[in-house]
């Protein structure tokens, strides 16, 4: 990082990225992750804001090359409990990039039309094209989270009864990993993030939504109901990560009690992955170059 502030000299983006990537998926334990962790950084002391700004700048350049090359697509999956900061992470991390090369899809409870298809269908039709970055604000993973925590949702999915067995979650994980493997083999780079907020910090943010008039529109009584199922959600997240943390589509468990740090880790992870992808502007061959030179002369010689 050439022009990084001095205090950050000791910090390598790759180290930050590595620290939050889930490696031994099968042994993953949520209890080992501290939602308040900041990698020893302090936004006041270390100018982490500047680090994020640098990341966003690098992302802009990388996205332009990704788009021009038109070979790879990038899928960013964001999962979290309510008020963990998904929306603001999207807003900040993507703030510098060209909106024409980026699509955000929010997955809410499926519509009647969506329920007439398999559970991956609505994700498949919203995948990013080559050269584009797609962000899933929630995703097909809800099918093993909210649907698992609320059996009545599964009951309303119109599945043939004999297909709904005790193995359904394992089967969904298998379908998801196969789907992601297929996408990876076809040029989609997948980065998955679980924004890990603590129950205490969620309470503080809900209270803020109630107390601050400008934040009230964000408050939903339903969020309090889901909070009541906290332990069931954590168990579902843990099982989900254990089964679906793969090389082709790694999970990153991002501490989310400090929003600035969440953004920093997501930006660093996306930048690091794109830098290793190293997309290139398409080369111009000699014939095309000659043609451009001729046209250039014509343009310069043009009378006003």
Contact positions toward Mg ion, by CB under 5 A?
82
Residue 46 or 82 having the CB closest to Mg ion = 82
Q: How far is the CB of 82 from ligand ATP (least distance, A)?
A: 5
CB of 193 vs Mg ion, minimal distance in Å: 17
Of the pair 82, 257, the CB lying nearest Mg ion is at: 82
Give me the least distance between CB of 205 and Mg ion, in Å please: 11
Q: Of Mg ion, ligand ATP, none, which one sits near residue 57, judging by CB under 5 to 8 A according to partner kind? A: none
205 vs 243 by CB, closer to Mg ion: 205
Q: Which residues bind ligand ATP (CB under 6 A)?
A: 82, 87, 107-110, 137-138, 142-143, 146-147, 153, 220
* Closest separation in Å from C-beta 142 to ligand ATP: 3
HEC assignment per residue over the chain: CCCCCHHHCCCCHHHHHHHHECCCHHHCCHHHCCCCCCCCCCHHHHCHHHHHHHHHHHHHHHHHHHHHHCCCEEEEEEEECCCCCHHHHHHHHCCCCCHHHEEEEECCCCCHHHHCCCCCHHHHCCCCCCCCEEEEECCHHHHHCHHHHCHHHHHCCCCCHHHCCCCHHHHHHHHHHHHHHHHHHCCEEEEEEEEECCHHHHHHHHHHHHHCHHHHHHCCHHHHHHHCCHHHHHHHHHHHHHHHCCCCCCEEEEECCCHHHHHHHHHHHHHHHHHHHCCCCCCCCHHHHHHHHHHHHHHHHCCC
Q: What does 107 bind: ligand ATP, Mg ion, none (CB cut-off 5 to 8 Å by kind)?
A: ligand ATP
Nearer to ligand ATP, 37 or 143 (CB): 143
Nearer to Mg ion, 39 or 233 (CB): 233
Q: Which is nearer to ligand ATP, 47 or 82 (CB)?
A: 82
How near is the Cβ of 98 to ligand ATP at its closest, in Å? Answer: 24
- Least distance from C-beta 167 to ligand ATP, angstroms? 19
- Which residue is closest to ligand ATP by CB? 142
């Amino acid at each position: 990082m050439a022009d990084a502030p001095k205090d950050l000299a000791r910090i390598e983006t790759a180290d930050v990225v590595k620290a939050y990537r889930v490696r031994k998926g099968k042994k993953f334990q949520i209890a080992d992750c501290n939602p308040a962790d900041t990698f020893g950084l302090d936004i006041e002391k270390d100018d982490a804001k500047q680090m994020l700004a640098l990341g966003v700048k690098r992302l802009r350049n990388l996205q332009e090359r990704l788009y021009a090359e038109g070979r790879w697509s990038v899928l960013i999956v964001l999962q979290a409990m309510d008020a963990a900061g998904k929306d603001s992470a999207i807003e900040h991390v993507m703030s510098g990039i060209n909106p024409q090369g980026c699509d955000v899809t929010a997955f809410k409870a499926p519509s009647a039309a969506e329920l007439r298809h398999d559970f991956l269908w609505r994700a498949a039709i919203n995948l990013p094209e080559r050269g584009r970055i797609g962000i899933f604000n929630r995703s097909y993973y809800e099918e093993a989270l909210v649907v698992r925590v609320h059996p009545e949702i599964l009951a309303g999915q119109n599945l043939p009864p004999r297909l709904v067995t005790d193995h359904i979650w394992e089967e969904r994980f298998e379908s998801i990993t196969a789907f992601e493997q297929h996408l990876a083999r076809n040029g989609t780079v997948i980065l998955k993030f679980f924004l890990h907020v603590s129950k205490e910090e969620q309470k503080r943010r809900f209270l803020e939504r109630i107390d601050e008039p400008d934040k009230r529109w964000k408050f939903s009584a339903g969020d309090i109901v889901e909070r009541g199922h906290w332990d069931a959600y954590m168990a579902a997240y843990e099982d989900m990560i254990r089964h679906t943390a793969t090389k082709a589509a790694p999970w990153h468990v991002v501490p989310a009690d400090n929003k600035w740090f969440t953004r920093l880790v997501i930006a660093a992870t996306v930048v690091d992955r794109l830098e290793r992808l190293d997309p290139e502007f398409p080369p111009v061959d000699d014939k095309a170059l000659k043609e451009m030179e001729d046209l250039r002369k014509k343009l310069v010689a043009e009378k006003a």
